[in-house]
A and B are shown apart, each in its own frame.
Chain A
Amino acid sequence: MAATQPRSADELGLTIDGVNHLTLPVRDHDRARRFYVELLGGEVTREPSWESVKAGRSNSTALAVRVCEGAEFDLFYQPFGMAQPDQEHPHHAFFVQSPAELDAFRAKLQETGIPTALITRQQNGPTCLAELHFNDPDGNHLQIDCRNYPFSDKVGSAGFDGWDLYYSWRDWPRKR
């Protein structure tokens, strides 16, 4: 078909309905499962299977985890392509409802040896939009946001150094 004059998607009524899935590269499905299911509270929706790879129908396989309502991570075995420590983007961010939940997630992450950075870029009087930054064991950048988080001196306001969030996937979870 010959190319026609470009028009906007709006004019043509082209729409999407929502997120189908987001993919991330991981080196070890067992470790990814511990992180995304046990630590972040996701639910496995599909187990990895190498059958289609062996049959030549796929290049890799994924552990699929629903991390929250409307968002599923397909964690593909791909031992490269994770963002560098000082490369902020791409990243994926989620919301929690309450400051207590954000604090609880931060405590859980730190308990297993995952460094975090709690910062804000929007302060509204006594509260702020708090951003909790951290990496999964493979170095993929994640963020949990909380609106109306109480502002205090434990919330940074000058950004963070991505290298402070670095840890080795092989050493996670930290042995007690």
Chain B
Amino acid sequence: MAISEQNQATGLRLDSLSHVALPVRDLDRSELYYTQVLGAKFVDRVDVKQTPPITSYESHLDVQWGPVDLKLFKQPFGEPTIEQAHPHYAFTTKGPMIDKWVDHFTSWGIPSVIVCRQHGKVGMGDKCAVELYFLDPDGNPLELDARDYIFSERVVWAPYDHYPLLYHGGEWWEEHKSRFKPTKA
């Protein structure tokens, strides 16, 4: 039986995305990054004092970015290495916002790169599809995609070098922690 026929036969489908859970090391740092830099809405935060050995990390920060629920668990390992492209998390934005996001990230000291994969099909001034790559302070790879960006000198062709995206999360926090105001007292 063909796959599509089998799906119709069972009728069993997942309904919607519940959440995406990412490992982070410092919930204050993540709260500043995800709410102020990315503009996610604070939902909840649970701080649990745990002492080793820890088998399940319970402290977490819940935010909603656009329509997406992100759960940021305080688990001090498991982020992808810079050479490891997957898993990563890609969200959609509009073309005219891409340059604004890049400038915004630059103002926060966060490297980013705009990548195009439409080799030979688009050039300077053309409307094109691009991917804007950047990392959270723990190294989790994030991406913003737009299908209507106007090709500019900021664009690089795929494949791109991941290493320029690296920055030191601890140093980033030292520089910006004065801007942190906890949402939940």
Contacts and interface: CB of A to CB of B under 8 A. Distances in A.
A88 B75 contact: yes
A47 to B, nearest CB: 12
A110 interface: no
Contacts of A1: 103, 106
Interface in B23-56: 23, 35-39, 55-56
Contacts of A17: 66, 91-94
A76 B86 CA distance: 7
A25 B80 CA distance: 11
Interface in B149-164: 157-159
A78 B21 contact: no
A55 B159 CA distance: 11
A94 B16 contact: yes
A49 to B, nearest CB: 12
B88 A5 contact: no
| Size class of the contact patch on chain B | 35 or more
Contact of A69 (B16, B38, B55, B87): B16
B16 A70 contact: yes
A15 interface: yes
14 contacts: A1-B106, A4-B107, A15-B66, A18-B91, A20-B143, A22-B88, A22-B89, A25-B87, A37-B7, A40-B14, A78-B85, A80-B84, A81-B84, A104-B10
Given A90-B22, A93-B17, A95-B15, 5 more contacts: A3-B109, A6-B176, A78-B84, A87-B75, A93-B19
Interface of A: 1, 3-10, 12, 14-25, 33, 37-38, 40-44, 52, 55-60, 67-71, 74, 76, 78, 80-81, 83-84, 86-97, 101, 104-105, 108, 140, 143-145, 159, 161
Interface of B: 3-4, 6-7, 10, 12-23, 35-39, 55-57, 65-68, 73, 75, 77-78, 80-81, 84-94, 97, 100-101, 103-104, 106-109, 117, 119, 140, 143-145, 157-159, 176, 179
